[in-house]
Amino acid sequence: MLENIRLSFQGIWSHKMRSFLTMLGIIIGIGAIIAIVSTIQGTNEQIKQNLVGAGNNAVTVQLYQDEWTYEMDYNGIPDGVPVISDDTMQQILAVDGVEEASRYTSRQGYDTVCYGNTSLSGGYVMGVDANYLDTCSYSIKEGRGFDSNDYAKYRKVAILDRDSASSLFQGADAIGKTIEIQGEPYIVVGIADKKDGFEPVINSMDDYYTYMQDSSGRVFIPSATWPIVFQYDEPQSVVLKATDTDSMASAGQAVADILNANLNVSDSTIQYKGQDLLKQAQDIQELSQSTNRMLIWIAGISLLVGGIGVMNIMLVSVTERTQEIGLKKAIGAKKSHILGQFLTEAAVLTSLGGIIGVIAGIVLAEVISKVSEMPVVISIPAAIIAVGFSMGIGIIFGLLPSYKAANLKPIDALRRE
């Protein structure tokens, strides 16, 4: 085998230009596939990061009616949905994959929060417990967070996120200022922002509507003061931080099951559901799968063309080396030896083309990334499979020429000039 490989490299080197042109179809096909797969995986990773975020692993479990979140403003407080007790929260924290958890209530409004003549259009008011900001990876950038007295003494204080502070105060200092929530005065005591500072990548208007739906801002108030501005004993939601991204879906479902076990509703369509962001990412990714497969098949055509080129050159090589084959057979070489030599030469030729194609594909993927600002993820398994596939092409398309060489009769081969 090693001797066959040495002879293969010797033959390739002695016909450098012909060998390169033979490999060109393989190089183009493998390079195109590697570039396409790298771009696809990079895009899929971007979609996942846009939805899941940069590692905060937060999962929201909310009350749904059919496939839509339950709207308190329109439907009122549903019967049979209790507030989430401390005992229930202990059960949630004991779920495998749950690192932290928090209860909250929320409302979206267009004139709910005001400062002077400025209102927070489309923003959210969140009634949160003491663990909410940590669970959702918020940190206090200005002022302070909520303390135990804010809850015990029902203080009307608020924390704004970056977007709501910008909308209401337009760059002015917000700490100590009084805003109105449903006509009730609340003093701003802090400005919060995400610890990771993650921002989704927006490449189109579709991306904007997909990823930026909640960018109008949030106003956080202590959950103890929620009944002052909204209804009493509203059903709560839970946000949990999973230990890792892969645990998000299972942890969210387990928490939803715990909450649903406490429901006593007459309408069976009302139940808690986990917001499966990974499933959303997969749904978006699947929309482009048919196009991606088509691109890979088109690139695969060049591999077929490259294989035919290999077969053609190997047939030429057999013709050129007829006397060499006859001499080897005359001194005792078996059919298997001749077959192995030519199959090895074809496999080495296409494997070299595959390796060069992988390198070309990686370079092409990086160029595409720089030009179009699209992310790429180089797949090592895809590169290994591509080289193995190119070797297989050499064996398959080299089989006919190798079989022809192995079946030459020594006397006929030696007689031919």
| Extended strands (E) in 352-413 | none
- Look at residues 245, 262, 279 and tell me which one is the last residue of a structural domain: 262
Q: For residues 217 and 89, state if they share a domain.
A: yes
Give the Cα-Cα-Cα angle 25, 29, 32 (nearest 5 degrees).
140
Q: For residues 23 and 100, state if they share a domain.
A: no
Q: For residues 392 and 307, state if they share a domain.
A: yes
d(CA 236, CA 276): 18
Residue 304 maps to a domain: yes
Instruction: Supply the angle between the helices 322-330 and 335-372 in degrees, to the nearest 10.
Output: 140
Find the DSSP H helices in 321-334. 322-330
Residue 93 maps to a domain: yes
Taking the chain (417 residues) in runs of 10, the rounded mean pLDDT of each run is: 64 73 81 80 66 66 86 80 91 92 88 88 90 90 94 95 91 93 94 68 45 68 92 84 81 91 87 70 57 69 76 72 67 70 78 87 84 74 80 77 67 55
Number of other CB atoms surrounding residue 163 within 10 Å? 16
Q: For residues 141 and 218, state if they share a domain.
A: yes
pLDDT of amino acid 205: 42
pLDDT of amino acid 208: 41
- Of 84, 78, 71, the C-alpha closest to 267 is 78
Domain range for 121 is 82-262
Residue 96 maps to a domain: yes
Residue 64 maps to a domain: no
Residue 73 maps to a domain: no
In this prediction the pTM is 0.59
